[in-house]
Chains A and B, each alone.
Chain A
Amino acid sequence: MSDELSQIGPAIGTRFPDLTLPDQTGAPVRLHDARRGRGALVVFYRSARW
């Protein structure tokens, strides 16, 4: 493997960027608000379809 995967996406030690996206009900979710001061696991996955 010659690509540096750990360079992809937000770096350790930095604040995860805030984002607002709709959830499965269509309601907008703003990440850092929805966390409500808790830690969080943010998981990127390829697709629910394939």
Chain B
Amino acid sequence: MELQGIAADLARADIALFAISYDSVETLAGFAAKHGITYPLLADEGSRVIRELGMLDDDLDRHHAEFGRQVRDDQRGVAYPAVFLLDRDGIVTEKRVHSKYRIRDTGTGLLESALGIAAPRHGPEAGAEGEAVRVRAYFDAPAYRPYQQLLLAIELTVKEGWHVYTTPIPVGYTALGAELAPIDGVDTGAPTWPAGRPHRVEGLDEEFSVLDGVIRGQMPVTFAVAAGTGDLQPEVTVHYQACSDTACLRPATVRLNLLVREAPFSD
């Protein structure tokens, strides 16, 4: 598995690495020997832990159907591909969960997530991946000071051949938007997005404004809270509707939980 390539980097950063699947010890022993795996591959045969942690992919039929594949009995019990970053106290500071996968994409997406988590350049990220759009959100700093304004970055990566709608938008369609769930003292400004480009759909009179590729929006967030408030867990909700030239997916709502620490007071 591709994680072996970053195992050395993680060791240098003093970050332990564990991989979990529902494979048997025997399967993993063969796999580890064949690929020279040096980190623990944990065998959750029977998926007891996967179930307990809420990581069971219970929508396997729908996921496989989208790629014209039948689900084999031995595939039930599989986990959602996901990456969790824990700090030295074992607290989850970042996570990425993937739902949709193509056989050849999953390894890359997972590795990218692991690498992104292992070498963060900004505040902790939260992300989610859907059929045509991957969404990430992160603050431009890992901690706030009382009355400080941080920028919340929201990044959508739209699959080739797809686009999302933005304003101005005809009635009945969902434009790209985002909001933060209210927290006492946390003031948010409206998000700003890049301008869309005009787009006509064959057979429809309406003109649309669309965005595609990597879309970055940002929202100023002021933490007007008293010193000593501590860690906050803002929840950002992102709305969008993705369409290709031939089909539209249903409007999507993605909720991402972020963690922002209070910066330690210093004289």
Q: Are A1 and B3 in contact (CB under 8 A)?
A: no
Query: How many B residues have CB within 8 A of the partner chain?
Result: 83
Q: Which of A8, A12, A26, A29 contacts B92 (CB 8 A)?
A: A12
CA distance A28 to B242 in the complex (A): 45
Question: Which residues of B lie under 8 Å from residue A12 when comparing CB positions?
Answer: 92-95, 124, 126, 233, 257-259
CA distance A48 to B37 in the complex (A): 12
Contact with B along A3-38 (1 / 0, CB 8 A): 111111111111111010111111001011011111
Q: Are A24 and B37 in contact (CB under 8 A)?
A: yes
> For B87, B92, B101, B253, which residue has the most chain A Cβ atoms within 10 angstroms?
B92
CA distance A26 to B10 in the complex (A): 24
Q: Are A35 and B21 in contact (CB under 8 A)?
A: no
A interface SS class: loop
Q: Are B14 and A39 in contact (CB under 8 A)?
A: yes
Q: Which of B41, B80, B86, B92 contacts A11 (CB 8 A)?
A: B92
Question: Which residues of A lie under 8 Å from residue B99 when comparing CB positions?
Answer: 1, 3, 5
Judge whether B79 is part of the interface by a CB distance below 8 angstroms. yes
Q: Are A3 and B55 in contact (CB under 8 A)?
A: no
Q: Are B98 and A5 in contact (CB under 8 A)?
A: yes
Q: Are B84 and A10 in contact (CB under 8 A)?
A: yes
- The 5 A-B pairs at the shortest CB distance, nearest first, are namely A1-B130, A5-B128, A48-B31, A21-B42, A24-B28
Known: A6-B255, A9-B97, A13-B91. 17 other contacts (CB 8 A): A5-B97, A5-B98, A6-B126, A6-B254, A8-B54, A10-B92, A12-B94, A12-B95, A16-B86, A25-B29, A34-B18, A38-B16, A39-B14, A42-B83, A44-B50, A44-B83, A48-B27
